Structure 1
Amino acid sequence: MSLPLVLGPFAMKLLPPRLNTRLQLRKKLRRASGFQIAIAHRLRQLNVEDWRSVTAGQSFYFSPEYLQMIEAAGPANLEPRYALISDDDGPRATVCMQIVQVSLDHLGEQRNHKLKVPFKERVLICGNLLSYGQHGVCFAPGSTPAELWPAVAEALYRTRRSEKLDGQTNVILVKDILEADKMPSACLGELSYSAVETEPNMVLTLPEGIHTHDDYLASLASKYRNAVKSQIYKPFEAAGFRIERLEQVTPFSARLQDLYLQTHTNAKLRPFMLEQEYWPALALAAAASIAFHVAVKGSQIYGFVVTLKDAETAVVWHIGFDRETAANGVPLYLRLLHASLTQAIDFRCRRVSFGRTALAPKARIGCRPEPMQIWVRHRQPLLNQAIGPLLRLIQHEDAPECSPFKKTANHSEGL
């Protein structure tokens, strides 16, 4: 029972104005938002044309082509859910959700686990575990996000409640909230969600006048330019490797999967695992907006990177490489990052999103950290009070200060 109902209207008037205002806001937010909300397990159960009317021209991650590809070829432990939010004038927002079942298998090497009891948890994600960025909520052009976030919260609540037949879903996580999303989504804080900072996304903003990778190298200070050539390109080529674009993905999907698993199994947190069928399905869904590049020696592939053109941003997305070869001194990972950067320039993108791992080498490329946070809530009030502080105790890497570009007015304006 909520505090306003316990106190009653007369007692509420006796409270300090600030507390009274907060409780009234909380009471308002805990009522139905007034929007029409349709929730579905599969995108085809909704009006796909209404969905497109909201998401057209926005991120690829909201497109029906991508979402239906995930339904068909996504991770086995991930179930999609969708919500379409409308008012009397039509569709106003879309919500992409994922229910993921996690266990100790997804939290690192089994032999290192200190827990000796079975652990399984169903988590409702607003967003996309396969990407980094705010890919949970898309607002129709002209909409005011702050007016629609209460409806998003209602959609999440209704979705969680509807999952009881399949098992209790205790945790809701709204992932990868950017700086611009913090204030519009602040109503979640009034609904007992906790804001927790995560690792930043490393983003490179290319200055005007860069049309090739050689232009990019020329824009670097000599110290960093020489390091790229002598520490990445030279040893890579001296070892007999070259970079090629993969025109046909299907014939090589087994090798891509093997390289992906070599990288994936080394991660500390791996809440999902992609399957071999995912790679050709992704290439088909994204079509001309995606490029697969591979590191090749002879006829053998030793590494790959996937680059996506997502509106005006290029995303350095999936990457995998042969760990034994890398351990022997071949800079596969760094060379693949530069292959993806080259493709981003070819895509005519000035903004390149490199993700939230390996912050130091990405800082040397010229990336700046873009802060991100999550909103998280547990359905049990006592556990919900603890979950935010506990998650804030997790240490995450801070990006180092690095300024690899020449000190020119042009580049300062570009940033």
Structure 2
Amino acid sequence: MKLLPKQLNTRLQLRKQLRRASGFQIAIAHRLRQLNVEDWRTVTAAQSFYFSPEYLQMIEVAGPANLEPRYALISDDDGPRAAVCMQIVQVSLEHFGEPGKRKLKVPLTERILVCGNLLSYGQHGVCFAPGSTPAELWPAVADALYRTRRCEKLDGQTNLIVVKDILEADKEPSACLGKLSYSAVETEPNMVLTLPEGVHTHADYLANLASKYRNAVKSQIYKPFDAAGFRMERLDDVASVTGHLQDLYLQTHTNARLRPFMLDQEYWPALAAAAGARIVFHVAVKGSHIYGFVVTLKDADTAVVWHIGFDREAATNGVPLYLRLLHASLTQSIDFGCRRVSFGRTALAPKARIGCRPEPMQVWVRHRQPLLNRAISPLLRLIQHEDAPEYSPFKKDNQPL
């Protein structure tokens, strides 16, 4: 009997490994309430807000129409060890590229299983119980993803799995995915600001900047914003202005090249209610009209500059709405007592001038069809992403570590 070539035999063994049970107990659910929510809290307590039942159940009610949540709770005989947040998103060509400029009009749709959260940036797919060893549990995460994808056949084939926003600290523990036919691809980085010691107000932040950067903030952002008659206010009653927020969100959202989902109007008050004191909305106002908004979240020790929307016409006419909203969120982050501020992965240059540094992120991708999956890896290596420019806005003696 002729033996199989070594390379083919290795692939077959890896495929068998993918289909082998991890040895952990895995519960999979469409709704969080179908799981033991107290076990979920045991795993996720005091960790990211994005794993909290309050947030996840809010998404179930007020999340995007083309997004369906899935959950997995991984346990052993000693109790719950990991919580997995998944989303099945149905996308089409309408979700990609510049609106109105697509040459291809084929009604192509695809269901994608995402381990993570499309509404956020960061590793919000897997949460490990305190004291656990992530490298021991990632094979169980792969097991949960495989089982979830297989369960979806009755609702429609789910061909692609994406494990979203793997940070540097997650790369080695999740490396088992590479042995299970997943391919890694680097994405645009998350821009993160680490504030120098002794910064307790926005004025302290400005005092730590080199003079040319400090003068630029004052003369190019604050001065023209104020001169145009605008002011920045904290928004306490989100429900009363949801229509305004939605309009501004759409003006910003529809301009993006990648739009895998669209939030609805009821999302904004639902988010405010779910997050409570952790979240603050700021609005840019002229007279009684809102021209922009930004959402700032206190997520454990990190402040997240999250959703943003602004009036495109006013911005085109020279009002620095976007930059002023970023500084409003930065001010709130300092007020939260956070030294680490996550600004997200777009508009890398202006965020670098604020003092942010790039935090590399990657995704793991796997297609269910072996032949297509083999083609994915070289294609992913061709994907280019924007690199963050290098700036040193802080005084030499005040550079963050």
- Is the Cα–Cα contact under 8 Å of residues 87 and 115 in structure 2 kept in the other structure? yes
SS in 2 for 1:147: helix
**Bigger shift: residues 101-110 or 200-209:** 101-110
SS in 1 for 2:148: helix
Corresponding residue number in structure 1 for 2:251: 262
**1:51 equivalent among 37, 40, 43:** 40
Amino acid at match of 1:228: V
Amino acid at match of 2:336: F
Corresponding residue number in structure 1 for 2:82: 93
Corresponding residue number in structure 1 for 2:316: 327
C-alpha change, 1:234 and 1:185, in structure 2 (3 Å) is same
Once the two structures are superposed, residues 296-348 of structure 1 have per-residue CA deviations (whole angstroms, 9 ceiling, x without a partner) of 00111000000000000000000000000000000000000000000000000
Structure 1 residues 7-406: aligned runs within 5 Å = 27-406=16-395
C-alpha change, 1:231 and 1:71, in structure 2 (3 Å) is same
- Is the Cα–Cα contact under 8 Å of residues 221 and 405 in structure 1 kept in the other structure? yes
C-alpha change, 1:23 and 1:160, in structure 2 (3 Å) is closer
- Is the Cα–Cα contact under 8 Å of residues 213 and 345 in structure 1 kept in the other structure? yes
- Is the Cα–Cα contact under 8 Å of residues 14 and 180 in structure 2 kept in the other structure? no
- Is the Cα–Cα contact under 8 Å of residues 149 and 185 in structure 1 kept in the other structure? yes
Length-normalised TM-score, structure 1 = 0.93
User: What is the number of equivalent residue pairs in this alignment?
Assistant: 401
Mark the runs of 5 or more structure 2 residues left unpaired by the alignment. Answer: none
C-alpha change, 1:193 and 1:246, in structure 2 (3 Å) is same
Mark the runs of 5 or more structure 1 residues left unpaired by the alignment. Answer: 1-5
Corresponding residue number in structure 2 for 1:3: none
- Is the Cα–Cα contact under 8 Å of residues 26 and 190 in structure 1 kept in the other structure? no
Query: Take 2:37 and 2:207, find their aligned partners in 1: how far apart are those partners?
Result: 46
Amino acid at match of 1:358: A
Query: Take 1:175 and 1:395, find their aligned partners in 2: how far apart are those partners?
Result: 17
Once the two structures are superposed, residues 85-126 of structure 1 have per-residue CA deviations (whole angstroms, 9 ceiling, x without a partner) of 000000000000000000111113453223232210000000
- Is the Cα–Cα contact under 8 Å of residues 201 and 372 in structure 1 kept in the other structure? yes
What's the offset of the Cα at 1:20? 8.7
**Bigger shift: residues 28-37 or 253-262:** 28-37
What's the offset of the Cα at 1:24? 6.2
Amino acid at match of 1:371: P
Amino acid at match of 1:309: K
SS in 1 for 2:396: coil
Query: Take 1:140 and 1:355, find their aligned partners in 2: how far apart are those partners?
Result: 26
SS in 2 for 1:232: helix
- Is the Cα–Cα contact under 8 Å of residues 103 and 120 in structure 1 kept in the other structure? yes
- Is the Cα–Cα contact under 8 Å of residues 253 and 279 in structure 1 kept in the other structure? yes
Query: Take 1:226 and 1:207, find their aligned partners in 2: how far apart are those partners?
Result: 19
Once the two structures are superposed, residues 18-53 of structure 1 have per-residue CA deviations (whole angstroms, 9 ceiling, x without a partner) of x99998676545411000000000000000000000
- Is the Cα–Cα contact under 8 Å of residues 39 and 159 in structure 1 kept in the other structure? yes
SS in 2 for 1:202: strand
What's the offset of the Cα at 1:209? 0.3
Amino acid at match of 2:182: Y
Amino acid at match of 2:117: N
Query: Take 2:166 and 2:24, find their aligned partners in 1: how far apart are those partners?
Result: 23
Amino acid at match of 2:52: S
Once the two structures are superposed, residues 352-389 of structure 1 have per-residue CA deviations (whole angstroms, 9 ceiling, x without a partner) of 00000000000000000000000000111111112232
SS in 2 for 1:335: helix
- Is the Cα–Cα contact under 8 Å of residues 30 and 191 in structure 1 kept in the other structure? no
Once the two structures are superposed, residues 232-267 of structure 1 have per-residue CA deviations (whole angstroms, 9 ceiling, x without a partner) of 000000000010000110001110000000000000
Query: Take 1:277 and 1:108, find their aligned partners in 2: how far apart are those partners?
Result: 26
- Is the Cα–Cα contact under 8 Å of residues 79 and 99 in structure 1 kept in the other structure? yes
Length-normalised TM-score, structure 2 = 0.97
**Bigger shift: residues 175-184 or 99-108:** 99-108
